[in-house]
Amino acid sequence: AVVGVTPVDELIEAVRKAGYEAKPFENVSLTEQDEAIRRAFALSAGKSALALAGGLLLMADMYLSLLPGIGNNIAWSLIGLVVLAIMFLTGGHFFRGALAALQNRTATMDTLIALGTGTAWVYSMTVVLIPDVLPAESRHQFFEAALFVIGFVNLGKALETHARSRASLAIQRLFDLTPKFVTRISGGADELVPVEVLVHGDEVRVKPGDCLPVDGEVIDGYSSVDESMLTGESEALLKQSGSIVRAGTVNLDGSLIIRAEGVGAETLLAGMVRLITEAQNSKPRIARLVDQISAVFVPAVILLAILTATLWALYGPEPVLSYSLVTGMSVLIIACPCALGLAIPMSVMVGLGRAATDGLLVRNSEVLQTAANLTMVVLDKTGTITRGEPVVVRSEGVDEKSLSLALGLEILSEHPLAKAIVDYGMDKNISAADVTGFESHVGGGVTGRVGTQNVALGSEVFLRLHGAENFPLPVKDVGSVVYLMIEQDVVGYFLLQDAIREDAAAAVAEMKEKGVRVVMLSGDRREVAAQVAEKVGIEEVFAGLLPEDKLGQIRLWQSQGEIVGMVGDGINDAAALSAADVGFAMGEGTDIAMESADITLLGESLGGIARSIYLSRRIVRNIRQNLIAAFAYNILLIPVAAGILFPF
């Protein structure tokens, strides 16, 4: 981003003078972005095909003699001009980039490509027009080499564009499912309107089988929603009043009324697209290192070519001018960084595409290198290891009849503990009793009547205020206890705990197998945190921490040489996520947590942490392999081009 008061036109002109194109940012649909990517791919592939076809024809002539002999100056002069036209048509951007770099007194890979292919063409035309200045054994034209270099580099760019397109298509399918028209409730009546006209606060009716058009809160209705295309989770999720829903997900079996809170570019789906685009256009540190190496490598090759030509001119055999010209040009041609140009973009683009399909939203490709080197991962408890919502883990003294009474009360309540008891009853296929005179008492519990019986659910303190005396034996387990009272008799209780994510223990074990130290940081009580840590296999637990305590602990570990990944979901985790070397945010967490993180785990699985570490290691390893191969090629063949094998 650029921040300042410079007029946009002047800013664009400055970027163009630096050798690049620029235009003001426009919020376009993903369909338009995808179409632009496809057009760019077709253009790059077309340029590559043209250059490679010309190169193949010239190479075939070496064996099949399809074209006139090299002594036919007129024919080969025309061929040379055609080759020059193809070079500028398919590779003109390399020459413009090299010229811009020269104007800025720097050198890039465009400089080497332009020098290498330009030198090959000049040398070939020298063979055609004035062959006598070259020794007989060196009179070979290299038109095909110039075309092959441009063709293969363009092919790399075309494949890079194709990889970007594949990464975006995983998200594109969601946008294709989002309805173009929606039912908006206005003045108590339904009206069909384009989704683009929706604004914050609009109420939208979503019928069974329809896709949700906006992010928002359910204000009426009860249904299951399939979020698999967004999170990768196969199980449909129950949505009712107060539930948060996301654009692009599918409403399965009930009718919902949703209050719009995120529309258009504000939805989670649109944010995913932006983050993927930002990540694809960023470079990891290792890629910037290549740019820095290229800035030194290019001038070094030019100096080496000059030095080679000079040494052959001073000490080479006759004709010294011919050998000097041949070796100097050969160094420039052989150093053309074809492999170097493909070494990093392909690995990054394909890796980011794989991450997107695995439910990993990578904000910036720079984080890949850091994630590959993580030595420890710090997990928040609530909302990260646990789901952040209570579930009934046990009930005592509650039979089917009394559970029906409890269900009848709690189904009328909006409290999170009430939802857990409702889910518990429905899982057991219990029908809710008809309740009259329902009352909710803030901070205490709920009361009502079933037939002639008074029924109450709530804490011990609340029920004692309503005349209860005979409570069951004290509950030793950590958790919230909700007692059920019929008339003045406490018949039993429900024990509720924050549900641990199903794959949490497996994810912790997998990270440990990869040599990563796993630690829990929690603001909860020590006994609660310790119980959760024991269940998932974490030995190091720090509990009762404030947000600044979490931040300080992470900085302490970093000062000790640890490379720290932090996983969190809430506002209280945002500072720690920002301070960590790699921040992981849970996909259903708060917006500020996701904005502070480097990688967002879509869905409810912690397994994405281990997957991201594994994927990052694979990407970085592949980049290093590519770079080693590319530099080995140059290091080995530049001396050959300089004539080191001439005595042999």
- Strand pairing of 436-441 and 445-450? antiparallel
Angstrom distance (rounded) from CA 4 to CA 55: 48
Nearest by Cα to 348 from 285, 270, 271: 285
Give the tokens for residue 211.
């896709």
Angstrom distance (rounded) from CA 639 to CA 648: 14
Alpha helices in 7-29 (DSSP H): 8-17
SS3 27: coil
Give the tokens for residue 515.
């040599």
Active-site pick, 34, 202, 380, 581:
380
Give the tokens for residue 238.
């129950």
Q: What are the DSSP calls for 337-401, one per residue?
A: -HHHHHHTHHHHHHHHHHHHHTTEEES-THHHHHHHT--EEEEEIIIIIEEEEEEEEEEES--HH
Angstrom distance (rounded) from CA 563 to CA 585: 17
Within 8 A by CB and 6+ apart from 544, the residues are 522, 523, 524, 525, 526
Hey, how many other C-beta atoms are within 10 angstroms of the C-beta on 442? Answer: 6
Q: What count of Cα atoms within 13 Å lies in the side-chain half-sphere of residue 194?
A: 3
190 an active-site residue? no
Angstrom distance (rounded) from CA 633 to CA 343: 12
Q: How many residues are recorded in the chain?
A: 648
Angstrom distance (rounded) from CA 50 to CA 216: 51
Whether the ω angle into residue 7 lies within 30 degrees of 0, i.e. cis, is no
Catalytic residues: 380
